[in-house]
Amino acid sequence: MAVAAWLVRKQTGWRRPLLPYFVQLALNAAWTPIFFGALQLGWALVEIVALWLAILLTMVGFHRVSKTAGWLFAPYLAWVTFATTLNFALWRLNPM
């Protein structure tokens, strides 16, 4: 993630393509306390879906600047897709 952001910043400076990057960083940091700390599986699901969308927007925006930077986000998007699936399954299995 940092290398991708560096590649984009190197070409654009601190411009618009980095905004979704910082949004997804904040959403990434927020998910763990919601899911594990507060045990709010439903809210964590809403939050991780927002994170997934922010990652996708970051990936597309980065890809427009640097194809390498865009593709560097593919494993992260795959991992969050898996985590979203797990979050959804746990939410469905544990109604509160």
Distance CA 5, CA 11 (A): 10
Give per-residue pLDDT as tens, 15-73: 777 999 999 999 999 999 999 999 999 999 999 999 999 999 999 999 999 999 999 99
Contacts of 77 (CB under 8 A, 6+ apart): 52, 55, 56, 59
pTM of the model: 0.93
Spans of all domains in the chain:
2-93
